[in-house]
Structures are given as structure tokens and as C-alpha cells.
Chains A and B, each alone.
Chain A
Amino acid sequence: MHTLQDPEFGNKMVTLMAALVLVLQIAMVAQRWIVTSIRIFAAQSFLLAAIANTIAYYNHAPHIYAAAALTLLAKGILVPIVLERLVARIGIRQEIKPILNVPLSIVISGGLTLVGYVLAEPFYRPDEAPGAATLGHNALAVAISLFLIGFFMMINRRNALTQVLALLCLENGLFLAAISLTYGMPLIVELGVLFDVLVAVMVLGILVYRIRETFESVDVSRMRRLRG
């Protein structure tokens, strides 16, 4: 059999790319420059699209190609462009000091990855569906880890823009989970989700811009007028 058609090879490719996605996520946790974070997010989205393509190829599921192409377009290209233009407009390039320092954040992210693997365990049933269908096992663990690390980033960072990025990482985790669990949601749902992601980036982008104008900062911990 040709190497490319061997499901085992596909499995290894997916695992490798999923590992890279996780590494990128942890790199983002440690990152201080906003533009670099945005580019890491773009790279992550590219990898996700590649994972989706690989899974589509080995499972003969053509609708995933469409989902992969849309993800690439929306999250790999459009969203990073919008966010980079926003950074240029508001002129804040560096991260505001996070609540926990970088080494501690990385340790916590590592811990969350472990939690991700534990949570993904009940979904791993190699006996039930042999062959190509086990493609997603590691990917699901990575997906849950992305989700949890995204949460952690959102709590840890005080910069409004980084919080938007963290929300997008959560969404990337969900995309990966959907791909690895069920080879993607129905296309109409993927479309709806991507549309919402795009609109959300626009809406949040405008909000970040107006927060910057009004508070002369994008530090969300300064917004504490409303209480009780």
C-alpha cells in the first residue's frame, strides 16, 4: 500500500499536527507581543484546517473539505487581518502585565493539558470502531486542552484584545473537538458558527476600539464602575 493511503500514517500526521497546535497555544500563553499572538492564532487555524483536510482524506468525507476551506478563509486569513489592523489603529502593541507570571502560566497550561487527556479518555474506544476512525483520539485531548487553556488565558489576561484572542482559541478548540469526534458538524452548522465568529470579531473589535477611546487603555480591570 502507498504510504499516503495508509490510515496509520494519517493518524501520525494528525497527532503531529495536533501536538503542534498545542505547542502554539502554550506559546501564546507565554507571549507578550499582541501581534505575535495574532500570528500564532493564524498559524493555529492553518494547522486546524490541515488536520480537517487530513481527516477528510482518510475518511472520505467530502463535506469536511468545505469546512476546512471556510475555516482557513475565516480564521486563518480574515480574522487575523481584522485584528492586526485593530492593533495598528489602537497603537497598543504590548501585553498588559498578566495576573500570573509567565512561568507559572506555562505550568498551569501543562496541568490543564493533563486534565484534557483525562477528560478525553471516556471517548476513546478503539474496540468499537477500528481503523481510520481512531484518528481523533489525541486530537480530542488537545481540543479539550485548547478549550481549558483558552479559559485560563481569558481569566489571566487583562488586555481586552488578548481576551478576544482567548475566546477565539476556545472556538478553535471546539472546531478541533467537532472534527475529531464526529468528523465535523453538518455543514450548515459549521457555516452558522463561522458566521457568528466573524460577526463576533467585528463586534468585539469595535468594542475594544471604543474602550480604548474612552478609557485610554485596553485594560479591562479598569472598568469597575458597575457594582452590586
Chain B
Amino acid sequence: MILALLLAIPLAACAVSAVARRRSVLEAVNVTAFALTFLLALGVASQVLRSGSISLWNGFLYADSLSALVILLNASVALVCSVYAVGYLREDERSGALDDDGGTNTPSFKLRKYYSLTPLLVFAMLLVTLANNLGVMWAAIELTTLASVFLVTFYGNVTSLEAAWKYAMIGGVGLSMALFGTILTYYAGHRLPGSEGLAGLNWSILVGQAAQLDKTSMRMAFILVLLGYGTKAGLAPMHTWKPDAYSEAPVPSAAILSAAMLNCAVYGLIRFYVLTSRCLGAEYPGNLLLLLGLFSMGIAVPFVLVQKNFRRMLAYSTIDQAGMMITALGIGGQLAAFALMLHMTFHTVAKSLLFLSAGNIYQCFKTDLFQKLKGGVLRVLPLTGAAFCLGTMAIIGMPPFSLFQSEFLMIRAAFGTGHFLVGALFILFGLGVFTGVTLHVSGMLLGTSEEPRAAWHPWRDSPIVILAVLLIAIGFWLPASLLELVQRAALVVSGE
């Protein structure tokens, strides 16, 4: 029941926002809906911790600890971003950023578009993690793309059209490959007992019979799914849509795409990885994952180093982080799986913090180019600047912060399982991104600026404060129940 409610609330919010006229109604509906979704996600997590896994409607919806963790992470991103969006869009309306496109769309239409498409996007992301049927999961991932295309074109200018076109087309081609992979997976299992009709693509059934799946088709299916969902996760060389989409979308949407949708894509890959590794052994899917993961980490380095725009830099950092997660998945084994789930948790907090603070900086300075910014962010926006600095240090893996722990565990797992080259490259690429990001961010935050010191904006600043406190807190003290959820999710990944 709780699973159905979890899906129904964002969908209802989408429907109400699509017809509501007043801005205050839109804001209230969104924030309330996401607060409820967050509470329900907590409920799902605690229920999963108590009873293993829950399902509804003959196993059509299914949540184990892996889904519960991803749901919890995505619901918290959605809540934080919905609060932030209120302040962000009000500021956009005040500064006239919403009337830039020659008047084809009125500002109130744009607001309605944002506030109705975001719940739809969140609904699709929740459906990805709740659908047991791999085909339905595919349809939900496609729906996340379709729901967010018009968030990318939100400002309606020339570059955002270009970004949306790339996003939709690359995403569409990638997902068609993933669909092919899903069809092949269905074929691989369609002669097994208990796979007739609807249940034939149910993950919870397939996973029990994975050893009997047809090996040739699983081999092809995994490659196709890896390319398909890898496109959604922004793995190189299918990553080119990512910097464009993240830098053109309104900042709260970019935060949701970067922190939450990445989790969904990785989640989809994990589901297929578990099936394939049980069918063909961990080495075959592992090597493919390592190849793409390390390539993504490697390709992020030069682009971060020469980057001129801080939102695009964050996008390349997300590509780097996606590469890390995929590499950890490819290393395989208990420790790497634990590191992966931990990393996903930490990254979600750190990346949403970074995007939201970047949004504050962008709105205050009206530019996202390092060159025009000329430094001084810490003086003008002390709080945002400090939060951005904190998030940056966390994301590049500076020791006392949380992501250092998970990255350290990944490297340990790589060396521990004999992947010496992987470990070495991991460190090398990590250092490259470290250098690039430190260089750019220090130039941006330090120094002086002629801008007056900005005031406190409750809607935009409080989410940042909460995320910053959370980021520090979970680095030193992860609540016992969350830790247990992460551990159990890791068990689902490593398949024990």
C-alpha cells in the first residue's frame, strides 16, 4: 500500500500543478507533495529494514533494500530541491530571467511547466526503483527523459534548445539499445518455468533462475543495456549531452538530474549486472563495466582542467563520479559493492549541495563563466561560498570528508581483488580531477569583488545549510539504520 501511495503522491501533485493558476498554490503543492514523498520513503526504508522486501499487486511493485536506499536518496533530493526552487524561481521572476525568450511563453506558464514536470520526473524516478518488471523499469527510465526535456528548454533560448535536442536524441538512441537488451533478457528467460506472461521479466523471479538463463543472449543483452543505461548515467563516450543539459536547465532541475537521475541509471545497471554475473560469472560484465567506468573517469580529466564554466565543470564532475560508481560495480565483491552504495549516498548529498550553491552564485553574479566571475564569491556570498567550498572538497575526495572514505574503500577493493591497473588509473584520474577542480574553485571563491555583500535568502539558503550540515555529519557519523540499509543494499549488489 505504501508503495502505491509513494507513486500516487507525485502523480497527483503533477496533475494539480498542471491546472493550478496561482504561484503560491504551485509552490505549496510541490513542497507538500515532496515532503510527504520523503516521509513515505522513510517509511519504505524502515519497513524494508524490518521485513526484508515488500511487494504489491502480485509483485508488480517490488522494493528491496537497494530500491529503498535509492528511493530514500532520490526523495530527499526532490524535497530539498523543491524548497530551493521556490526561492530560485521567485528570484528568476523578479530579475526578468523568465521573459528572455521573446515572449513566446509567459512567466506564469513557465512556472506551471516547472512545477508540474518536476513531480512527473520524480514519479518516473520512483517508478524506476519500484518496478519489478524490467520492461516497466525501461519505460519509466524513458519517461524520466521525456519529463525532463522541457525542463532543459525551460528558459527557451537558443542554447537550451540545442541542449534539449541533444539530450532527447542521445537519450532516445541509448534507451532504444537498452530496450533491445531488455527484450533479449526476456528471450533468455522465456522458456523457464514460472516466466509466463507478465512475470516473465520480473527481476525478483529472474534473479532466482539466473543460472539457467540463455548465455548467448545474456551476453548480448548486457552489452546493449550497459550502452543504454550507460547513456543515461552519462558514461563516456555517450556523455556529451550531460554538460549541455546540466548547464541549460534551471539549477534545481539540474540538481535533480545530476544527483537523483544518475542514481536511477546506476540502479538499472545494477539490476542487470546482478542477473548477468549470476548467469555468466562476474568477470564478463565486470570487465565491460571497468572499461566504460575508467574511460569516463579519464575523459572527465581534460575537460575539467580546461573548463570555463562552473556548471559545466560540475557536470563533468558528475561524469567522473558516475565512472567511479561503474568502476566499483565492475570490481565486484563485497567490499566494492559496499563502497559503491556508500559512494552513491555521499555523492547524492554532495552533488546536490554543489549544484544548489552554484545556483546561488549564478543568480548573484549573473554569469557561470570563471572568467567573468573573477573571484570573490566568499566575500559576497559567505555562506554559499563556504558551502560550495565544502562540497568541492568532499567531491574531489579530500580526506576528512565522506567521499574520501568511499573512494578509499573502492581503491582498497581494487587492490584487494588484484585489479592493480584499475586501482592505479583510479588514483591517477582522481588526482587529475582534484587538480582541475581545486584550481578553478579556488580562483572563483577567493579574491575580492566589487559586488555588495548579498542578503540572506531563506528559501535558497536554508536547503544549502541543511545539506552542508548533513554532508559533514554523515562523513563522521552515519546513522546506524542508514548504515544497515547501505550494507544490505550492498548485499543485493554483490548477490549474496
Q: Which residues in A have some Cβ–Cβ distance to B below 8 Å?
A: 122-123, 147, 151, 154, 160, 163, 167, 170-171, 174, 177-178, 181-182, 185-189, 192-193, 195-196, 199-200, 203-204, 206-207, 210-211, 213-215, 220, 223-226, 228
Question: A183 — nearest CB in chain B belongs to which residue?
Answer: B190
With a cutoff of 8 Å between Cβ atoms, the chain A residues found around residue B143 in the complex are 196, 199
Given A185-B201, A188-B136, CB of A220 within 8 Å of CB of B165: yes
A122 to B200, CA, bound (A): 22
Given A154-B173, A189-B136, A228-B308, CB of A174 within 8 Å of CB of B183: yes
Contact of A170 among B164, B168, B176, B247 (CB under 8 A): B176
Q: B29 interface residue, CB < 8 Å from A?
A: no
List the count of A-B residue pairs having beta carbons below 8 Å apart: 122
Determine if A182 and B183 form an interchain contact, defined as CB atoms under 8 angstroms apart: yes
Determine if B158 and A225 form an interchain contact, defined as CB atoms under 8 angstroms apart: yes
Given A122-B216, A226-B163, A228-B307, CB of A188 within 8 Å of CB of B169: no
Determine if A186 and B153 form an interchain contact, defined as CB atoms under 8 angstroms apart: no
Given A167-B173, A186-B133, CB of A193 within 8 Å of CB of B139: yes
Determine if A170 and B173 form an interchain contact, defined as CB atoms under 8 angstroms apart: yes
Determine if A181 and B201 form an interchain contact, defined as CB atoms under 8 angstroms apart: no
Interface of A is mostly: helix
A199 to B124, CA, bound (A): 14
Quick one: which of B9-31 are within 8 Å of A by CB?
Answer: none
Given A147-B180, A193-B135, CB of A211 within 8 Å of CB of B308: no
Determine if A211 and B168 form an interchain contact, defined as CB atoms under 8 angstroms apart: no
Q: B217 interface residue, CB < 8 Å from A?
A: yes
A170 to B158, CA, bound (A): 28
With a cutoff of 8 Å between Cβ atoms, the chain B residues found around residue A200 in the complex are 142, 146, 168, 172
Q: B328 interface residue, CB < 8 Å from A?
A: no
A175 to B142, CA, bound (A): 16
A213 to B307, CA, bound (A): 31
With a cutoff of 8 Å between Cβ atoms, the chain B residues found around residue A187 in the complex are 198
With a cutoff of 8 Å between Cβ atoms, the chain A residues found around residue B307 in the complex are 228
Q: B193 interface residue, CB < 8 Å from A?
A: no
Determine if A186 and B303 form an interchain contact, defined as CB atoms under 8 angstroms apart: no
With a cutoff of 8 Å between Cβ atoms, the chain B residues found around residue A160 in the complex are 165
Of A163, A193, A213, most buried by chain B (CB within 10 Å of CB) is A193
Contact of B161 among A174, A178, A189, A214 (CB under 8 A): A214
Least CB distance, A92 to chain B, in whole angstroms: 16
A167 to B169, CA, bound (A): 8
Least CB distance, B76 to chain A, in whole angstroms: 27
Determine if B135 and A225 form an interchain contact, defined as CB atoms under 8 angstroms apart: no
Contact of B198 among A167, A177, A188 (CB under 8 A): A188
Least CB distance, A121 to chain B, in whole angstroms: 10
Interface size for chain B: under 10, 10 to 19, 20 to 34, or 35 or more residues? 35 or more
Given A188-B135, A189-B136, CB of A211 within 8 Å of CB of B216: no
With a cutoff of 8 Å between Cβ atoms, the chain B residues found around residue A192 in the complex are 135-136, 138-140
Contact of B179 among A154, A174, A213 (CB under 8 A): A174
Least CB distance, B106 to chain A, in whole angstroms: 16
Instruction: Mark each residue of chain B from 152 to 177: 1 if its CB lies under 8 Å from any CB of chain A, else 0.
Output: 01001011011111101100110010
A210 to B248, CA, bound (A): 16
Determine if B146 and A199 form an interchain contact, defined as CB atoms under 8 angstroms apart: yes
Determine if B162 and A185 form an interchain contact, defined as CB atoms under 8 angstroms apart: no
Q: Kindly list 12 other residue pairs between chains A and B, CB separation below 8 angstroms, not including A177-B183, A185-B135.
A: A122-B216, A123-B187, A178-B183, A182-B186, A186-B201, A188-B133, A188-B198, A189-B135, A193-B135, A193-B138, A200-B168, A207-B153
Question: B172 — nearest CB in chain A belongs to which residue?
Answer: A167
Q: B150 interface residue, CB < 8 Å from A?
A: yes
Instruction: Mark each residue of chain B from 282 to 322: 1 if its CB lies under 8 Å from any CB of chain A, else 0.
Output: 00000000000000000000010011100010000000000
Determine if B162 and A225 form an interchain contact, defined as CB atoms under 8 angstroms apart: yes
Contact of B187 among A154, A182, A207, A211 (CB under 8 A): A182
A72 to B156, CA, bound (A): 35
A178 to B166, CA, bound (A): 27
14 sampled A-B residue pairs with Cβ under 8 A: A154-B173, A160-B165, A167-B169, A181-B183, A181-B187, A188-B136, A189-B135, A196-B142, A199-B143, A200-B142, A207-B161, A211-B161, A215-B161, A226-B163
Determine if A226 and B159 form an interchain contact, defined as CB atoms under 8 angstroms apart: yes
A143 to B216, CA, bound (A): 18
Q: B85 interface residue, CB < 8 Å from A?
A: no
Least CB distance, B180 to chain A, in whole angstroms: 6
Determine if A203 and B146 form an interchain contact, defined as CB atoms under 8 angstroms apart: yes
With a cutoff of 8 Å between Cβ atoms, the chain A residues found around residue B187 in the complex are 123, 181-182
With a cutoff of 8 Å between Cβ atoms, the chain A residues found around residue B312 in the complex are 228
Least CB distance, B159 to chain A, in whole angstroms: 5
Of A147, A154, A174, A203, most buried by chain B (CB within 10 Å of CB) is A203
With a cutoff of 8 Å between Cβ atoms, the chain A residues found around residue B159 in the complex are 225-226
Determine if B306 and A185 form an interchain contact, defined as CB atoms under 8 angstroms apart: no
Can you list the 5 inter-chain pairs with the closest CB atoms, starting with the nearest? A189-B135, A192-B139, A223-B162, A181-B187, A196-B142
Determine if A203 and B150 form an interchain contact, defined as CB atoms under 8 angstroms apart: yes
